Amino acid sequence: MADYVEPLGMRVLIRKDEARQKTRGGIVLPDNSEIPTITGRVVEVSVQVARNEDFPIKKYDKVLFHPKNAIPVDFEGNNLLFVVPIEDIVAIFRKDSTKKSRVSKADLEDE
């Protein structure tokens, strides 16, 4: 039987993405730079979050979270796991499966 971490209450378990040393624009970040939000993948969702329709977060979602209240979990060696309160998840990255036409402000004014 394998061990696992199950978050309780309004929390999720997130595996933090690797820290970036360079931005997309090519700017090298110093080692001591502090970024107020972090991205990661949801590893597990508590029962309370899964049942709450106000929080459309599922296992494997990529999320942006604020680390202030995140609790680090030393469970898988070098993987960086955090138990994060649901209110500290600020965004979910979604892929748009439908091609929506873009409407400009000028298009709306013509109507």
Q: CA 27, 29, 80 angle in degrees (round to 5)?
A: 130
Both tokens of 70, joined, read 């995140």
User: Does the structural domain 11-97 have CATH classification 2.30.33.40?
Assistant: yes
Q: How far is CA 76 from CA 10, 28, 41, in A?
A: 22, 29, 15
Q: CA-CA distance, 5 to 44, in Å (whole number)?
A: 8
Both tokens of 53, joined, read 């329709």
Length of the chain: 111
Predicted TM-score of the model (pTM) = 0.69
pLDDT tens by residue, 58-90: 999 999 999 889 999 887 666 689 999 999 999
pLDDT tens by residue, 19-54: 665 556 666 655 555 556 689 999 999 999 999 999
